[in-house]
Structures are given as structure tokens and as C-alpha cells.
């Protein structure tokens, strides 16, 4: 494979170019050349046994730790990944790549089409979780890493971790699957659809060609983000954080200003999202999640895999207040793996922080991830 | 590797019941203490279930395969005969349906190891007889209104149940309250009186499959099967 690596100084990110590779997508479409933006932390050991791939969620990116130049803030999981953190970069070589279809430097609707000086926009082919993982596997291969010690992800990242276990079990040793499911539920698809409709109803969207006039469908995208953000929290967490408290005022306005703190918060979330995320990318990636469905096939895939997968260890984690990917969805995975006598661990963490718990302060999550990685790594290191 | 000494007395006895290199499910595994002992001393492959969230988290963080869950709801997910041994230590008396659990243990495992405090112990009998109140002892330290132990039974009760369920008792070890160890099956008199804690190795009776003698080798025509 002929892979070219460069560093994008503006993005502060490594870019891997895969040229004339003819990546066949699940839809049947073919992308002849593509690029993946990625970051790597820590050092690969001489035996190349300490590599971990972290998969980001829907609106994440490759900046898992350290500084994110796009937002000017810390990486999205910098509390989890770094020196002496639960995913310890003193010990592990951690890779995180922006997914195919994303908008932080990897090939996606925002990027220029191969050979043409126009962005893909709505011409970008439909990508699935399987396609993202296939692209990641090419990146790992081109980094000359035969086997990843672990693939870790929450939400859409968990979907990718599960897909790794299905498609490339021989290239990994374990997965940590947080707040995920075998399938995207009807309710989850429904929320995504509302978000997409918000974007597509924005007159500026123009069938995905808004970039031609250097415009952004800000209203639609921010509304999509506001809806989604509600699903990432829980009723209790919202009540604890905001209650019915008023925003910068003592009395209600009898109008439609952001009287309540919760309104102001959501507006802020929507506004800041628009500055960092591409609307078309949001359409494509939410669709990829919607299409994810291993409900009927997972058990068979694992039982009758062409690649040996008996060695795989699974850590499945859910949160009590996560109603987007509730515990029952995780337990279905655990049940199926147990029925096949696979090495699986499962923990439901008690928290009121909802689906977003995996990104937030949860000491028990830190402990199990750190312990699971450390102890299982010690076993292969013996 | 150095041999790990048991933290609990019954663990070292459980270990003596287990052969090398076997696959084990520990129900109510806590933070993985017994699993660690068996992995280390018996080269076992271990899995565990633990109801308590913090204990399960500790066990997982220590690197063990542990599922945070309720054995009474979650045992059904395991396939028949997927373990060599299933261990239920000091929890049968806390189960809602002990009989169902017992048959689940022997469905999932070729053998089951069950340990429990004997409610027929003389101290317990004496307490009830004299005070007229529900006994509170070292092995059963809870008051009646605040106890996880909802099904009290004696060794005699347990033996009767096993008999009724066609369960074979392969080995049985009794411990007195002073920690003296003896073979329950060999000591007939007073066993139910002196045993403080009992440990049983169980399996199902092996029934010989019924063989039908026939001169014809084909029992069904291929065409019938195809239809």
C-alpha cells in the first residue's frame, strides 16, 4: 500500500493520504482516493504491542487529548487520555483519527472532490460505520501496526469498536465499548431525523451547496445540535444544573427571549457547534449511525467469524441515566457474548449525567478503564 | 508463580474440589478474590457475576471477566455446559428461588459447588429453643427484618432437595464452628447438629442413553427428511 503522510500545520494534525486505493463502500460506491486526519500520542514500543485506537463519537474529532486548534480548547477526552491518565500515554501509543465523512481534515463532504476543485457537499457517497472502520484499518496497517491492543469508544465510537470486533478480530485484542448498542433504535433515528430536517429546512442549506457562496446553514445546524444535546443529558441532570432558574434577569419577560438558563445554555451549545462542525457532515454521520444494525447478525457474526475471535476480550459499560443508549442495549450484547462463552465484562455505572457521562467526570469509569487496560496489558507482556 | 493463600476458609476447601485448567463461573464473585486464587493455583479460566456495583467495578479493574448483574435473572444467558464448575458460595440462602438456581447451576456447569451456612447447627437450634426469637449468629449475623438471607435450610433439607432433583453429591465437606473439617457423607450421626458450614460438589446423575436395537440402519427415508 502506498500511503503518504504529511503534517497539516494549521490543523496541527497528521494526514494520511491513500491514493488510488479504490475504497469500496458498503453502499457500493467507490472512493478512489481519500485522506484521514489523525493524532497520535505516546510512543509505540519496539514489539508494537501497545497501540490503542480511540474512536470518536458523532461530533468528535482526532483531538482526543492535548489542545484542539479548531476550538482552542482541550481535546474531547483529555481527562481520559494523556500521561498518567486512565488511558496512559506514558504506557500506550494512542491513535485517534477523524472518521471518514467527518469535517476535521479527513475526506468528507467539506473536502474537495478528487481531481475537481469543488467540495463534495451532497455528492459525497453515503458512508457507514463499517466503512469508517475499514478506512481506520488501512491507517493502522499503513502505520505498520499488525495488532491493536485495544479499540475504545463511546456512543458512535462504541459502534466502531464493535465493528472492529466483527470485521477485524484478528487485528485487535480487546474492545472497550461505552454507551453503545447493537443497533440505532427507532427513537434515536427519530431524533436524528428531526436534526437533519432542521438543517435541510434552512434556506441556506441549498441541497448541501451552501459552501458555494461561503455560507453556513447556521440556524438549521444549531437547532439540530440543540435537539441532540437534550438527548445527551438526563432530566435529573438538567434539573440539577438549571432547574427553572432565570438567565440574567429577575423576572420573566413575557416574551421569547432566553428567559431560562436552560434555554440560554442550549442556544450557546447550538451557536458554538456551528463554528466547529460542517452541516453536511452532520447529515452523513447521523445517517451512518442510523444504518448501524447488528441486532440480528451480531451473535452469528461472532460465532461463525472467518477470522479467529476467541481471544477477544470485551469491556461493556453503560450508564443508569442514559436513555439514548440505555443499559438494556448493552446487556443484549453481554448476553449474546456470554451465550458464546466469550470473555466479557460489564458494568452499569450509577450516574444522573445521561449519555454524555462517558465524556464527563465519572471516577468508576476511569477506574475500570485503567484497570482493564493495565491488567490485560500485563498479561500479554508476561 | 507463588501459591495464593485463601482469604476465606471455604475458598481453600473449594479449591481442593477443583481440577487443574478448568473453566469456572463464580456467582457472587465479589472483587474477584476466589477467581484470582483459582487462576493462580489451578490455572483456571474464570468468569464471574456480581450484583454489587462497586465490587463488580473492582473486579473488572483487577482484570477479571466479571459481569455486573443479578444471577437470578442473568444465568439464563449462559449456554448449557459452558463451564466445568459453577460456584455458588454462601448465597443459596439469599436467592428468591433456590431450587431454580440449583438446576441452573447444573445446566450451565458440568459440576456445581455450593456452600451455605447450616441452619440445623446446634447453636441456632438452641437459640430458637431458649429465647424463642430468630437466631442471630456469627455466620448468620442479621436480624430477621434486615437480612439478605430469605431461605433458611439445614443440611438435611439440602440433601432431600438434591435427592428429589436427581442431583448426585460427589463430595461434601462440613466445617464445625471451630473450623474442624470432616466428610459429611461419612459421618452419619449428628452431622446436621455440628456442621456450621457445608460445601457440596454436585453433578447430575448420568443416565445411559436408551439404545434401540434394530436390524435396519435407516430409520427415516431421505425423502421424508427433505420434506
- pLDDT tens-digit readout, A347-359: 999 999 999 999 9
**Can you tell me the distance from the alpha carbon of A76 to that of A57, in angstroms, rounded to the nearest whole number?**
10
Task: Name the residue in chain A with its Cα closest to that of B81.
Answer: A341
Q: Which pLDDT does position A242 carry in this prediction?
A: 96
Measured in angstroms, the CA of B89 and the nearest CA of chain A are apart by 20
In the set A13, A97, A150, A155, the catalytic residue is A155
In this model, does residue B227 exceed pLDDT 70? no
In this model, does residue B56 exceed pLDDT 80? yes
How many structural domains compose chain A?
2
What average pLDDT does chain A have? 96
Beta-bridge partner residues of A35: A17
Q: Do B60 and A340 touch (CB under 8 A)?
A: no
**Can you tell me the distance from the alpha carbon of A268 to that of A265, in angstroms, rounded to the nearest whole number?**
5
**Can you tell me the distance from the alpha carbon of A334 to that of A181, in angstroms, rounded to the nearest whole number?**
10
A271, A287, A303 — which closes off a domain?
A: A287
Q: Which pLDDT does position B188 carry in this prediction?
A: 64
Measured in angstroms, the CA of A288 and the nearest CA of chain B are apart by 30
Q: Which pLDDT does position A274 carry in this prediction?
A: 97
For residue A185, give the nearest of A337, A300, A56, A329 by alpha carbon.
A329
* Residue A9's pLDDT band (cuts 50, 70, 90): very high
Q: How many CB pairs under 8 A join A and B?
A: 68
Beta-bridge partner residues of A16: A5, A36
User: Is A155 noted as a catalytic residue in this protein?
Assistant: yes
Residue A10 shares a structural domain with residue A122: yes
A313: chain B residues, CB-CB within 8 Å = 65
Residue A267's contacts (CB-CB under 8 Å, 6 or more residues apart) are A222, A226, A258
In the set A184, A322, A356, A357, the catalytic residue is A322
Residue A222 shares a structural domain with residue A368: no
Confirm whether pTM is higher than 0.90. yes
Using a CB–CB cutoff of 8 Å, tell me whether B60 touches chain A: yes
Q: Which pLDDT does position A302 carry in this prediction?
A: 96
Using a CB–CB cutoff of 8 Å, tell me whether B16 touches chain A: no
The whole-number average pLDDT for the span B30-43 is: 96
Tell me the percentage of chain B whose pLDDT exceeds 90: 69
Q: Do B62 and A375 touch (CB under 8 A)?
A: yes
* Residue A382's pLDDT band (cuts 50, 70, 90): low
Q: Do A343 and B65 touch (CB under 8 A)?
A: yes
Residue A146 shares a structural domain with residue A110: yes
Measured in angstroms, the CA of B198 and the nearest CA of chain A are apart by 29
Helices marked H in B75-212: 98-108, 122-131, 155-164, 191-194
Q: Which pLDDT does position B185 carry in this prediction?
A: 81
In this model, does residue A330 exceed pLDDT 70? yes
The whole-number average pLDDT for the span B146-169 is: 93
Q: Do B47 and A343 touch (CB under 8 A)?
A: yes
* Residue A235's pLDDT band (cuts 50, 70, 90): very high
A330-336 LR contacts (CB < 8 Å, sep 24+): A330/A177, A330/A179, A330/A180, A330/A181, A331/B69, A332/A181, A332/A182, A332/A295, A333/A162, A333/A177, A333/A180, A333/A181, A333/A182, A333/A298, A334/B67, A334/B69, A334/B77, A335/B74, A335/B77, A336/A298, A336/A299, A336/A302, A336/B77
In this model, does residue A162 exceed pLDDT 60? yes
> What is the phi/psi pair of residue A118, to 5°?
-125, 145
A303-309 LR contacts (CB < 8 Å, sep 24+): A303/A340, A305/A166, A305/A169, A307/A168, A307/A169, A307/A170, A308/A169, A308/A170, A309/A165, A309/A169, A309/A170
Q: Which pLDDT does position A99 carry in this prediction?
A: 98
Q: Which pLDDT does position B215 carry in this prediction?
A: 65
Q: Which pLDDT does position A116 carry in this prediction?
A: 85
Q: Do A339 and B61 touch (CB under 8 A)?
A: no
**Contact call for residues B38 and B24 (beta carbons, < 8 A):** yes
Higher pLDDT, A380 or B218: A380
**Can you tell me the distance from the alpha carbon of A257 to that of A295, in angstroms, rounded to the nearest whole number?**
44
In this model, does residue B225 exceed pLDDT 80? no
CATH number at residue A279: 1.10.1740.110
**Contact call for residues A104 and A37 (beta carbons, < 8 A):** yes
**Contact call for residues B14 and B89 (beta carbons, < 8 A):** yes
Q: Which pLDDT does position A117 carry in this prediction?
A: 87
A225, A258, A287 — which closes off a domain?
A: A287
Q: Which pLDDT does position B21 carry in this prediction?
A: 97
Q: Which pLDDT does position B9 carry in this prediction?
A: 79
For residue A42, give the nearest of A78, A96, A92, A81 by alpha carbon.
A92
In the set A177, A184, A294, A355, the catalytic residue is A355
In this model, does residue A307 exceed pLDDT 70? yes
Helix (H) / strand (E) element for A162: namely: helix A156-167
Grid cell for residue B4 = 495464593
Which of B1, B22, B60, B70 is the best mutation test for A, with the most CBs of A within 10 A? B60
In this model, does residue B187 exceed pLDDT 90? no
Q: Do A364 and B57 touch (CB under 8 A)?
A: yes
* Residue B208's pLDDT band (cuts 50, 70, 90): low
Residue A107's contacts (CB-CB under 8 Å, 6 or more residues apart) are A31, A34, A35, A36, A100, A101
**Can you tell me the distance from the alpha carbon of A183 to that of A328, in angstroms, rounded to the nearest whole number?**
12
Label residue B148 exposed, middle or buried (CB < 10 Å: 0-12, 13-18, 19+). Answer: exposed
Query: Which CATH number is correct for B9-226, 3.40.50.300, 1.10.287.610, 3.40.50.150, 3.40.50.1100?
Result: 3.40.50.150
**Can you tell me the distance from the alpha carbon of A110 to that of A100, in angstroms, rounded to the nearest whole number?**
11
Residue A73 shares a structural domain with residue A133: yes
Label residue A150 exposed, middle or buried (CB < 10 Å: 0-12, 13-18, 19+). Answer: buried
Residue A339 shares a structural domain with residue A364: yes
* Residue A174's pLDDT band (cuts 50, 70, 90): very high
Residue A230 shares a structural domain with residue A336: no
In this model, does residue B226 exceed pLDDT 50? no
Determine which of A218-232, A327-341, B201-215 has the lowest per-residue pLDDT on average. Answer: B201-215
- pLDDT tens-digit readout, A105-147: 999 999 999 778 899 999 999 999 999 999 999 999 999 999 9
User: Is A311 noted as a catalytic residue in this protein?
Assistant: no
**Contact call for residues A49 and A381 (beta carbons, < 8 A):** yes
Angle at which helix A261-276 crosses helix A218-232, to 10 degrees, equals 120
Angle at which helix B53-61 crosses helix A363-381, to 10 degrees, equals 30
Determine which of A224-228, B175-179, B215-219 has the lowest per-residue pLDDT on average. Answer: B215-219
Residue A213 shares a structural domain with residue A174: no
User: Is A345 noted as a catalytic residue in this protein?
Assistant: no
In this model, does residue B220 exceed pLDDT 60? no
Beta-bridge partner residues of B105: none
DSSP collapsed to 3 states, A260-305: EHHHHHHHHHHHHHHHHCCHHHHHHHHHHHHHCECCCCHHHHHHCC
Q: Do B53 and A345 touch (CB under 8 A)?
A: no
Residue A21 shares a structural domain with residue A9: yes
In this model, does residue B7 exceed pLDDT 90? no
**Can you tell me the distance from the alpha carbon of B42 to that of A243, in angstroms, rounded to the nearest whole number?**
56
Residue A67 shares a structural domain with residue A154: yes
In this model, does residue B211 exceed pLDDT 80? no
Task: Name the residue in chain A with its Cα closest to that of B55.
Answer: A347
* Option in B61, B77, B82 nearest A371 (CB): B61
For residues A229-268, one letter each, b for 16 or more C-beta atoms within 10 angstroms of the residue's C-beta and e for the rest, the string is bbbbbbeebbeeebeeebeeeeeeeeeeebbbbbbbbbee
* Option in A346, A350, A378 nearest B69 (CB): A346
The whole-number average pLDDT for the span A77-93 is: 98
Residue A68 shares a structural domain with residue A145: yes
Strands (E), chain A: 3-8, 13-18, 23-24, 30-31, 34-41, 51-55, 67-68, 73-74, 81-82, 87-88, 93-97, 148-154, 172-178, 313-319, 343-349
Strands (E), chain B: 23-27, 45-50, 65-68, 83-89, 109-117, 167-175, 181-183, 197-204
Residue A60 shares a structural domain with residue A72: yes
Q: Do A339 and B47 touch (CB under 8 A)?
A: no
**CA Rg value for chain B:** 21
- pLDDT tens-digit readout, A189-222: 999 999 999 999 999 999 999 999 999 999 999 9
Residue A75 shares a structural domain with residue A200: no
**Rounded to 5 degrees, what angle do the CA atoms A185, A186, A190 make?**
120
Domain extent listing, chain B: 9-226
Quote the domain boundaries for residue A245: 188-287
A253, A287, A321 — which closes off a domain?
A: A287
In this model, does residue A7 exceed pLDDT 60? yes
In this model, does residue B137 exceed pLDDT 60? yes
The whole-number average pLDDT for the span B1-14 is: 77
Distance set, CA B2 to CA B29, B39, B61 (Å): 22, 12, 22
- pLDDT tens-digit readout, A249-302: 999 999 999 999 999 999 999 999 999 999 999 999 999 999 999 999 999 999
Q: Do A378 and B63 touch (CB under 8 A)?
A: yes
Determine which of A32-46, A107-121, A208-222, A232-246 has the lowest per-residue pLDDT on average. Answer: A107-121
Measured in angstroms, the CA of B5 and the nearest CA of chain A are apart by 21
Using a CB–CB cutoff of 8 Å, tell me whether B43 touches chain A: no
What average pLDDT does chain B have? 89
Amino acid at each position: 500500500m502506498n500511503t503518504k503522510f504529511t503534517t497539516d500545520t494549521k490543523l496541527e494534525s497528521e494526514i494520511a493520504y491513500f491514493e488510488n486505493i479504490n475504497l469500496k463502500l458498503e453502499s457500493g460506491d467507490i472512493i478512489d482516493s481519500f485522506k484521514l486526519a489523525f493524532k497520535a500520542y505516546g510512543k509505540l514500543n519496539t514489539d508494537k504491542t501497545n497501540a490503542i485506537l480511540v474512536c470518536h463519537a458523532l461530533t468528535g474529532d482526532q483531538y482526543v487529548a492535548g489542545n484542539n486548534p479548531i476550538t482552542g480548547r482541550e481535546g474531547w477526552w483529555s481527562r481520559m487520555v494523556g500521561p498518567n491518565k486512565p488511558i496512559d500515554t506514558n504506557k500506550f501509543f494512542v491513535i485517534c483519527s477523524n472518521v471518514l465523512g467527518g469535517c476535521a481534515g479527513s475526506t468528507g463532504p467539506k473536502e474537495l472532490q478528487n481531481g475537481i476543485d469543488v467540495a463534495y457537499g451532497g455528492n459525497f457517497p453515503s458512508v457507514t460505520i463499517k466503512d469508517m472502520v475499514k478506512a481506520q484499518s488501512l491507517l493502522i496497517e499503513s502505520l505498520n501496526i499488525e495488532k491493536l491492543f485495544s479499540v475504545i469508544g463511546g456512543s458512535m465510537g462504541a459502534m466502531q469498536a464493535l465493528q472492529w470486533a466483527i470485521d477485524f478480530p484478528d487485528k485487535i485484542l480487546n474492545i472497550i465499548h461505552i454507551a453503545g448498542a447493537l443497533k440505532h433504535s427507532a427513537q434515536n433515528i427519530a431524533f436524528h431525523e428531526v436534526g437533519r430536517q432542521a438543517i435541510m429546512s434552512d434556506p441556506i442549506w441549498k441541497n448541501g451547496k451552501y459552501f458555494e457562496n461561503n455560507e453556513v446553514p447556521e440556524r438549521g445546524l444549531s437547532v439540530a445540535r440543540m435537539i441532540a444535546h437534550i438527548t445527551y443529558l438526563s432530566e435529573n441532570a438538567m434539573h440539577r444544573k438549571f432547574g427553572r432558574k432565570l438567565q440574567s434577569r429577575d423576572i420573566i419577560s413575557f416574551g421569547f427571549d432566553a428567559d431560562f438558563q436552560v434555554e440560554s445554555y442550549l442556544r450557546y451549545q447550538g451557536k458554538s457547534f456551528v463554528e466547529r462542525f460542517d452541516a453536511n457532515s452532520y447529515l452523513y454521520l447521523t445517517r451512518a449511525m442510523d444504518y448501524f444494525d447488528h441486532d440480528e447478525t451480531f451473535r452469528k457474526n461472532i460465532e461463525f467469524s472467518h477470522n479467529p475471535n476467541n481471544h477477544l476480550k470485551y469491556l461493556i459499560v453503560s450508564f443508569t441515566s442514559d436513555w439514548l443508549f440505555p443499559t438494556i442495549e448493552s446487556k443484549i450484547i453481554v448476553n449474546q457474548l456470554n451465550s458464546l462463552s466469550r470473555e466479557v465484562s460489564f458494568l452499569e455505572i450509577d450516574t444522573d449525567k445521561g449519555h454524555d457521562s462517558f465524556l464527563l467526570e465519572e471516577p468508576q469509569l476511569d477506574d475500570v478503564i485503567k484497570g482493564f487496560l493495565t491488567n490485560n496489558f500485563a498479561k500479554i507482556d508476561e | 508463580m507463588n501459591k495464593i493463600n485463601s482469604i476465606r476458609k471455604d475458598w481453600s476447601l473449594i479449591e481442593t474440589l477443583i481440577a487443574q485448567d478448568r473453566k469456572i463461573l463464580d456467582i457472587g464473585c465479589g472483587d474477584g478474590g476466589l477467581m484470582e486464587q483459582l487462576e493462580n493455583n489451578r490455572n483456571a479460566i474464570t468468569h464471574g457475576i456480581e450484583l454489587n456495583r462497586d465490587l463488580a467495578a473492582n473486579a473488572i479493574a483487577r482484570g477479571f471477566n466479571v459481569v455486573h448483574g443479578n444471577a437470578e435473572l442473568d444465568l439464563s444467558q449462559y449456554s448449557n455446559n459452558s463451564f466445568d464448575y459453577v460456584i455458588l458460595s454462601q448465597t443459596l440462602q439469599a436467592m428468591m428461588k433456590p431450587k431454580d438456581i440449583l438446576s441452573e447451576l447444573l445446566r450451565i456447569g458440568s459440576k456445581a459447588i455450593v456452600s451455605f451456612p447450616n441452619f440445623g447447627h446446634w447453636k441456632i437450634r438452641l437459640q430458637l429453643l431458649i429465647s424463642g426469637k430468630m437466631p442471630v449468629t456469627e455466620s448468620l449475623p442479621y436480624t430477621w427484618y434486615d437480612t439478605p438471607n430469605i431461605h433458611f435450610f439445614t443440611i438435611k433439607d439440602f440433601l432431600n432437595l438434591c435427592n428429589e432433583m436427581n442431583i448426585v453429591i460427589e463430595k461434601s465437606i462440613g466445617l464445625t464452628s471451630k473450623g474442624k473439617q470432616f466428610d459429611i457423607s461419612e459421618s452419619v450421626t449428628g452431622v446436621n447438629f455440628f456442621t456450621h458450614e457445608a460445601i457440596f460438589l454436585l453433578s447430575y446423575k448420568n443416565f445411559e442413553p436408551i439404545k434401540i436395537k434394530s436390524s435396519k440402519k435407516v430409520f427415516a427415508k431421505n425423502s421424508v427428511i427433505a420434506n
